[in-house]
A and B are shown apart, each in its own frame.
Chain A
Amino acid sequence: MNAIIISAVLGVIMMFSGIFLKKNSSIAALAIFGIIILLVATILEMSGYHFFAVDTHNMLFFDAFGLLFNCVAFAGTLALFLLNAKDIAAIGNNPGEYFALIFFVLCGIAIASSFNTLLMLFIGIEIISIPLYILTGSDKRNLKSNEAALKYLLLGAFSTGLMLLGIAFLYGASEKGSFFLDELAIGRAAVSPLLMAGLLLITSSLAFKVSAAPFHFWAPDVYDGAPTAITSFMATIVKGGAFIAFIRLFGDAFVELKSQWQIFIAILAAATLLIGNITAVFQQSVKRMLAYSSVAHIGFMLFALLTLNTMAREGIILYIAAYSAATIGLFAIVVKMKDYSFEGFNGLARQHPMLALAATIFLLSLAGIPLTGGFLAKYYMIASVMQTGHFLWLVILGLFCAAISIYYYFRVLQAMYFKEGQGQHLDLSPGFTVWLMVLAIIVILLGIFPQWLIDRLYIIYL
């Protein structure tokens, strides 16, 4: 509860900050300060300090899983702010509002990670989505940004419609006429057609939110069109939030019916892996490549949804953390680049060796090379599927896709280190490089001592 209320309040504060603070940098500093407060408050909540005693009427349910994810999401946002706060403030004329919207999104994420009824899921998802439509279009002069915003809006609203129809079906199928997760499927030995239809529709809609194929089409376009710093936020934290909602929904409501829906998740995962990876191969712009890469990673994350075992829960947190850290880091570099095609990266290692080193670590992590968080994350996903004893074909497909992913990640590496070129000169503050290195070290630490993160799932004072 700490996170929801504080993030909402922080949103309001940021909204007014534009009036009192004239300089972008001070607004950015305030935002960083705010996110630190939010992060600390969430950590404290995990440690048993609840600032607000609110009776949620069982609408929200806070557990270690959701709270830990919140920590990851807020920490990711902190990293984003540390690296790109000034770039966010510089998108347009309303720096305070941009941060306010981001805090509102975080509020939505906090809800989406702790909902206990479909109503809160719906509200949470909408609180995430509506500010994002605006953030996507916040670069108002840029036609690409406009276009992305409208596409996102239309498709997002459409998927909301799908979700609502699904919710309605689930409601109708519920014996108790309830939206509570634990009551949705109760008393159903066999799956009724209504329940199944509802499940499929809500799956499609959430698949849209996390951009799983074939509901992913918005993602590359929107990520490409949105201001890069916002893309970074959307592709990592928001996506993670939507995914956690997905996991919560299936884990809490339908886990007994696993055998009924696993095949659909497997199909989605397979399609996502294939389309995400294969399409990424041909991209010419790093930004767009990263958009497809984010789709591809969802394919792996869906493994966790498929299995929903202990390993999956542990792994998905690690996956989101590792993936977000690496992607935020890469986008932070892309934000600073004038030319973010692959050629733009030529010779970057000569011009900015530390930047290139950090980028290398991020890319290796995304590619799933050991000693980085990305490897263990993938490991958890694969192992969780193998634990079930089925879906080996999916694992093998995943392997091939991971090998394909090497192609596009290493293109960046090759450009940075091995291709001829002077390299763009970027204006970087020393702080930027330092924070980037810190992020890179975190990625590596996640790969060596994942238990530092995962053990938090089991050490909790609620």
Chain B
Amino acid sequence: MPINYYIFLSVALFCIGVAGVLTRRNAIIVFMCIELMLNAVNLLMVAFSKMHHAALAASDPNAGINGQLFVFFIMVVAAAEVSVGLAIIAMLYRNTHSVDINFLNRLKH
């Protein structure tokens, strides 16, 4: 497939994620939208990996594998981030009984 398709698809998914972050008030949903953004990136990364592989396989049979490994690390990190993130959201919920980010305005100006 032309790489541009992947680029635009990923960028579209990414931007939907961004729009989600911008429009939603529920911290969990916002967090999910960020995961969506990460996945869009993952897809793009894999596509690029295959693009490089197609171009450079002749000289290096493992060409492009670094992209896929990077995606692997992204997933790992995302998982860790989610665990911490959800813990924090849970803590906040325990204290305020709300996950509405609009109420997060004690700190301002």
Contact = CB atoms under 8 A, between A and B. Distances in A.
Verify that A and B bind, or say they do not: yes
Interface of A: 118-119, 122-123, 126, 130, 133-134, 137, 140-141, 143-144, 146-151, 153-154, 157-158, 160-161, 164-165, 167-169, 171-172, 174, 176-179, 220-222, 224-225, 282
B58 interface: no
Interface in B22-48: 27, 30-31, 34, 37-38, 40-41, 44-45, 48
Given A119-B70, A137-B88, A164 B41 contact: yes
Interface residues of B, number: 49
Interface string B72-109: 01100100110011001101100110000100101111
A43 B91 CA distance: 40
A161 B14 contact: yes
Given A126-B81, A154-B101, A164-B45, 10 more contacts: A119-B73, A122-B70, A144-B107, A148-B107, A160-B81, A164-B74, A168-B48, A177-B67, A220-B107, A282-B109
A220 B27 CA distance: 20
Contact of A161 (B7, B17, B91): B17
A172 B48 contact: yes
Given A126-B81, A171-B70, A147 B31 contact: no
Interface of B: 3, 7, 10-11, 14, 17, 21, 27, 30-31, 34, 37-38, 40-41, 44-45, 48-49, 51-53, 55-56, 63-64, 66-67, 69-70, 73-74, 77, 80-81, 84-85, 88-89, 91-92, 95-96, 101, 104, 106-109
A141 B96 CA distance: 11
A160 B80 CA distance: 13
Interface SS of chain A: helix, strand, loop or mixed?
helix
Interface centre among A123, A151, A158 (most CB of B within 10 A): A158
Contact of B48 (A133, A150, A177): A177
B101 A150 contact: yes
A107 B98 CA distance: 35
Centre residue among B40, B53, B104 by max chain A CB count within 10 A: B104
Contact of A154 (B14, B30, B63): B30
B41 A161 contact: yes
16 contacts: A133-B88, A137-B91, A143-B106, A147-B107, A150-B104, A153-B85, A160-B38, A161-B14, A165-B14, A167-B41, A167-B70, A168-B44, A168-B45, A171-B45, A177-B66, A221-B107
B26 to A, nearest CB: 11
Given A143-B96, A150-B101, A221-B108, A179 B66 contact: yes
Given A119-B70, A158-B21, A172-B7, A150 B88 contact: yes
Nearest to A221: B107
Nearest to B3: A172
A217 B96 CA distance: 23
A157 B70 CA distance: 17
Contacts of B27: 150, 154
Contacts of B21: 154, 158
Nearest to A140: B91
Contact of A168 (B41, B88, B101, B109): B41
Given A119-B70, A171-B45, A157 B92 contact: no
A397 B30 CA distance: 38
Contacts of B14: 161, 165
Contacts of A172: 3, 7, 44, 48, 51
A144 B106 contact: yes
B19 to A, nearest CB: 12
B22 to A, nearest CB: 10
Nearest to B53: A177
Contacts of B56: 176-177
A155 to B, nearest CB: 9
